[in-house]
A and B are shown apart, each in its own frame.
Chain A
């Protein structure tokens, strides 16, 4: 019996010691954020996924970056000069730039990073068609020599969204672009804690003490990246309601992208505020498969422009007019190239005009195979609205429901629509990805080389090339308008309006920067 008592005493003491043991040391200020997705992949060049791009902005830096006005500003770059003939860009890095392992950032690293990025990114590939040579002058200066002038250099190197030209150490940047990197050394304001990264649970970043911010105040993705918290944890909570509950209970500080229908709960809580993080917002889009009959006929695609109206889509998905805007422009309203040119009379649900065009095009009633994504709240209601409007405009529609990943796989197929292919689907673009005709993936009309949908139009391609060559902003705008007008004659896709999603944040969190990408420098937590 006494043995049993002793054993019980030992167990009790052990339990007390375990319970009373101090919690593991935590950094002084930890910002806990629920991002829109789990971080599974960590190579922002290997994939274009937005969560990986956001991870890139945490740990890497860029040569140039876009500010709040949409202008491209130097970031890692101290100064740059353009030769009089506009054929040579001489770029000099700032002093004191260090990798997370303490080694200095050199032009060797930057050139290797540009090459790896340009091998994957469509804008990078376009830029490289103008590049004759990249010459390293010394560890801090390099030259980009062009074979003809182009306005793309700064725009591409300061591209805000996927794929972003992030700078990596040479040893990492020399990895094959189709192989995922496994060394996560960057020179950005945060260091990735690989040992604490638990896919499906959390990703952890700590402040990089040796990071040298620019002296200017922060402005979108440009300016001084001053980190004001010790640690940022991206907590993955897949259930939106649970994430909102965790925010209200103070277990997390910031939700990046809750569905619109949960925003009233956040609004009603005294400790939570809504922050407009991305003022440019997002754009809904209807994408055609230009290879599949009847959408191989531009007139039939034009009919879609007449049968749709943006308000119906925006109401069905977003609901609250405070979070959407009708924007009859291919380029996001509020961005420099936005224009109504060519859009007069379109997107007004003129069903009679749509039917007349279909008759003119000899539409034979072939059902439109419309792919309906059912698992992403921001997309789910789009396809049923499209189906209803298309039918009113004289189309026959076969709407097929599937999860987004199935849709992603199916849209890559060129098979006949009734044999596993497709005619159309709806998606959403972050405005920062569609700011000009070169950047906008759906405007690429280079036939087989174009994105799924494979539009094929020499005129659009010629205008996109002109845009890439032009260095004068006013002339660039005129070309962008010309592309837009051509898009109404040879539609590659239909813009369906802009929508916005404020982020619910605890009131003790301040300094959140408005940018096309959620970033965490300048953020304070009291």
Chain B
């Protein structure tokens, strides 16, 4: 397996190179001028030109790319145009909220979606199945921000059980950390629970009719061991794939939730940087996201070998 992992990791290098070039070019081709944004509304053209020169934006594109690439190869993402901070420092500051939110959401999703999917498949065609599938359709259909506002209204404004917004770092107290993650995690989990419950139901249904399940039942095994040992294990590959994709989507897709709950995470950093045309920050964040995507895909592929002994690399 190690040679396979090595090959996959080496294969990420050209992927990263393509991502780097595309991101760099796309940003430069997008309208908008970071120097004009920095200078402010009352600035003169001379002020803007001076800032552009200071940021090196007046140099030819190729020269800008070579300078950026050179720094990148030395592990230096450069300095943000706006924040007067190293981009790596900015990213590190924002990783914790996003990681915490994504982790809580995934834990909540897996804890709810897999049992719900199994229940729906096991009781196929009954009211339980219809309720789970109805929730699933609803979860897909309602936009995340609507769910967010509804939860805030109910639990933060009306009942005053939880805070409306904000994030508290773990080192500043577990209570506040958990308290501030509950509503955002539930908000974000709704759509993933809906997705994974549906996939789980479909996968389990496929396996439920298999010969080996009928044989297990015929041998007199009770339903729980049948479901856990024979059905779920064999239905796991598509479920794990979707969870893996879900994690990847989650890491990059927490923007709306982070905005609604005012969580200073990576999603909001990306949006702020894009709106401000903060090229070094956008480039670095997208590269980091790409690495995360590639690694998650690799982990998902590797997990197949544990779930299905027939798969070997």
Tell me which residues across on chain B come within 8 A of A474, comparing CB atoms: none
In-complex Cβ contact of A402 among B31, B152, B173 (8 A) = B31
Q: What are 7 sample pairs from A and B whose C-beta atoms fall under 8 A apart?
A: A41-B84, A46-B51, A47-B43, A49-B40, A199-B82, A405-B275, A409-B31
Kindly supply a per-residue 1/0 record for chain A positions 237-257, scoring 1 wherever the CB is within 8 Å of any chain B CB and 0 otherwise. 111011101101101000000
State the 3 A-B residue pairs at the shortest beta-carbon distance, nearest first: A48-B40, A409-B33, A48-B42
Complex Cα distance A427/B149, Å? 31
For the complex, is A15 an interface residue (Cβ under 8 Å from B)?
yes
For the complex, is A12 an interface residue (Cβ under 8 Å from B)?
no
Complex Cα distance A192/B310, Å? 62
For the complex, is B37 an interface residue (Cβ under 8 Å from A)?
yes
Closest residue on chain B to residue A249 by CB atoms: B164
For the complex, is B156 an interface residue (Cβ under 8 Å from A)?
yes
For the complex, is A132 an interface residue (Cβ under 8 Å from B)?
no
Output the least CB separation between A179 and chain B (Å).
7
Output the least CB separation between B84 and chain A (Å).
6
Output the least CB separation between A401 and chain B (Å).
12
| CB-based contact B163/A251 at 8 Å | yes
Kindly supply a per-residue 1/0 record for chain B positions 94-129, scoring 1 wherever the CB is within 8 Å of any chain A CB and 0 otherwise. 100000000000000000000000000000000000
| CB-based contact B37/A405 at 8 Å | yes
| CB-based contact B165/A251 at 8 Å | yes
Output the least CB separation between A31 and chain B (Å).
16
For the complex, is B45 an interface residue (Cβ under 8 Å from A)?
yes
In-complex Cβ contact of B165 among A122, A242, A406 (8 A) = A242
Stretch from A17-25, A74-82, A103-111 that touches the partner: A17-25
In the complex with contacts A120-B47, A239-B260, A412-B157 CB distance below 8 A: no
Kindly supply a per-residue 1/0 record for chain A positions 113-124, scoring 1 wherever the CB is within 8 Å of any chain B CB and 0 otherwise. 000000010100
In-complex Cβ contact of A245 among B44, B48, B85, B165 (8 A) = B165
Tell me which residues across on chain B come within 8 A of A249, comparing CB atoms: 156-157, 160, 163-164
In the complex with contacts A21-B173, A180-B84, A249-B160, A239-B41 CB distance below 8 A: no
Segment 139-185 of B: residues with Cβ below 8 Å from A: 149, 152-153, 156-157, 160, 163-167, 172-176
Closest residue on chain B to residue A414 by CB atoms: B45
Q: Which of A15, A46, A50 has the most CB of B within 10 A?
A: A46
What's the A-B contact tally at a CB cutoff of 8 Å? 140
For the complex, is B32 an interface residue (Cβ under 8 Å from A)?
yes
In-complex Cβ contact of A47 among B39, B93, B149, B156 (8 A) = B39
Tell me which residues across on chain A come within 8 A of B43, comparing CB atoms: 47-48
| CB-based contact A409/B32 at 8 Å | yes
For the complex, is B272 an interface residue (Cβ under 8 Å from A)?
yes
Segment 1-58 of A: residues with Cβ below 8 Å from B: 15, 18-19, 21, 23-24, 38, 40-42, 46-50, 52
For the complex, is B311 an interface residue (Cβ under 8 Å from A)?
no
Kindly supply a per-residue 1/0 record for chain B positions 246-277, scoring 1 wherever the CB is within 8 Å of any chain A CB and 0 otherwise. 00000000000001111010001100100111
Closest residue on chain A to residue B47 by CB atoms: A120
| CB-based contact B173/A19 at 8 Å | yes
Closest residue on chain B to residue A21 by CB atoms: B173
Q: Which of A23, A120, A405 has the most CB of B within 10 A?
A: A405
Tell me which residues across on chain B come within 8 A of A412, comparing CB atoms: 33, 36, 45, 48
In the complex with contacts A19-B173, A245-B156, A249-B160, A199-B83 CB distance below 8 A: yes
Chain A residue total in the interface (Cβ 8 A):
55
Complex Cα distance A434/B172, Å? 46
Complex Cα distance A142/B276, Å? 41
Tell me which residues across on chain A come within 8 A of B39, comparing CB atoms: 47-48
Complex Cα distance A76/B275, Å? 38
Complex Cα distance A40/B264, Å? 13
Complex Cα distance A420/B59, Å? 21
Chain B residue total in the interface (Cβ 8 A):
54
Q: Which of A200, A236, A251, A403 has the most CB of B within 10 A?
A: A200
Known contacts A24-B173, A242-B260; can you find 7 more A-B pairs with CB under 8 A? A19-B174, A47-B40, A162-B42, A179-B54, A242-B164, A245-B153, A412-B48
In the complex with contacts A239-B259, A251-B163, A18-B174 CB distance below 8 A: yes
Complex Cα distance A182/B85, Å? 10
Closest residue on chain B to residue A246 by CB atoms: B164
Complex Cα distance A1/B274, Å? 54
For the complex, is A336 an interface residue (Cβ under 8 Å from B)?
no
Tell me which residues across on chain A come within 8 A of B45, comparing CB atoms: 412, 451-452
Output the least CB separation between B34 and chain A (Å).
9
Closest residue on chain A to residue B148 by CB atoms: A242
Kindly supply a per-residue 1/0 record for chain A positions 407-451, scoring 1 wherever the CB is within 8 Å of any chain B CB and 0 otherwise. 011101000000000000001000001000000010000000101
For the complex, is B210 an interface residue (Cβ under 8 Å from A)?
no
In-complex Cβ contact of A18 among B37, B90, B173 (8 A) = B173
Segment 194-242 of B: residues with Cβ below 8 Å from A: none
In the complex with contacts A19-B173, A180-B84, A242-B261, A248-B36 CB distance below 8 A: no
Output the least CB separation between B19 and chain A (Å).
24
Tell me which residues across on chain A come within 8 A of B166, comparing CB atoms: 235, 246, 251
Complex Cα distance A182/B86, Å? 13
| CB-based contact A238/B259 at 8 Å | yes
For the complex, is B9 an interface residue (Cβ under 8 Å from A)?
no
Tell me which residues across on chain B come within 8 A of A21, comparing CB atoms: 173
For the complex, is B50 an interface residue (Cβ under 8 Å from A)?
yes
In-complex Cβ contact of A238 among B33, B82, B94, B262 (8 A) = B262
Tell me which residues across on chain A come within 8 A of B51, comparing CB atoms: 46, 178
In the complex with contacts A19-B173, A21-B173, A178-B54, A237-B83 CB distance below 8 A: no
